[in-house]
Amino acid sequence: MEKAKVILVMLCGVITASPSVCAQELAEAYHDQFLTGTAISNDTLSKALPATDTPVCKEFNAFTAENAMKWQSLQPRDGEFDFSLADKLFELADRCGASVIGHTLIWHQQTPEWVFKDEKGAEISRKHLLERMKEHIYTVAGRYKGRVLGWDVVNEALNDDGSLRDTPWRRIIGDDYLIQAFRFAREADPDAQLYYNDFNLYKPEKVAGAVRLVHQLTDAGIDISAVGMQGHYSLFYPELSAVEESIKTLISAGTKVSLTELDVSVLPVPEESFDGADVNQRYVADPLYDPYRNGLPESEQKRLADVYEGLFSLFVKYAAHIDRVTLWGTSDDESWRNNWPVRGRVDYPLLFDRNGQPKLAYKVIVKKAP
């Protein structure tokens, strides 16, 4: 029998047959369980790209654009596309041997107002908006066809009670706008994985809504590859058992699960009922809610590590059904949690500190890997 040919490629300065040679620690530790990703900010993409010996390249094998592939970044004006930052994401991924997740094709946030209006400022028709949706998805997904592992096709379409949000997409097109978006995405890139992505999916009512969406898409003949559970968590919420129940519910619905935007805030919440990741939530700055401006105490580092250990142990438990765990950023200095829901706070939600050094949470989950 003829021996299989091994194609060697040059990545990270090393001749290798592995597409993820740069991922030497965290991603390698969980290599047999799931992809381990990070979000790449516009600031990172606007400068000289990270070297291959930095945590971005060494620790992760899946990249998601934090903002560079959202509608307002790619098509700020009708028919005027700007792929400069998105293209640099793919350049970085090629350099690091990482997969790319497209985020996001359809969202009610960070979508310019012109998308929903005519030249006189009046709301456009269902037919017109469907044409704009199709053109955008065909152009964007078509450009990166074969280079994207999967797309967050629709982002945050559900209220916490599981009902559909009253967004311009829904008001103009109707409840079937998700089906239309997924259909266009599948036509534009037949081989890409397709995801629905949302926050607070540890809440039973909301995860039930996600299950309904999965069934509606399946009934429409559309294969949804995974549901993305945004992991914008805190030391104060959610209960690990609630996250597990939601994972089990989605598995029972016949879909895989991705943990798509994982970070764990250590800061006090502005009010007892606060949770979630709605970017419209804003609170006035108060020193009471920003207690760690001079550094995170060792006791809080331990609490953060305990939360991450519990989460990664849970993800490993269901690894057969989890395809990816993506941290929403690499180091604390670049996290959106520093400015949400209160601007200018100092938060510590990620695995690397502001100097790019691994924190106790990082060390614990690497050590505890199977």
Is 261 a known active-site residue?
yes
The helices-and-strands tally (H runs, E runs) of the chain is: 12, 11
Model pTM above 0.75: yes
> In the prediction, which pLDDT does 254 show?
96
Name the burial class of residue 86, with classes exposed (0-12), middle (13-18) and buried (19+) by CB atoms within 10 angstroms of its CB. buried
> In the prediction, which pLDDT does 4 show?
34
Sign of the four-CA dihedral 297, 300, 301, 302: positive
Q: Which of these is catalytic: 91, 261, 271, 334?
A: 261
Residue 148, CA distances (Å) to 27, 85, 100, 119, 151 in order:
19, 15, 5, 34, 7
> In the prediction, which pLDDT does 343 show?
86
Q: Angle at which helices 177-188 and 204-219 pack, to 10 degrees? A: 60
Is 156 a known active-site residue?
yes
Q: Which of these is catalytic: 156, 187, 244, 271?
A: 156
The series of mean pLDDT values per 10 residues for the chain, 370 residues long, is 33 37 75 98 97 96 98 98 98 98 98 97 98 98 98 98 98 98 98 98 98 98 97 96 98 97 92 58 72 96 98 98 98 92 91 97 96
- Domains annotated for the chain, with CATH where assigned, are 25-367 (3.20.20.80)
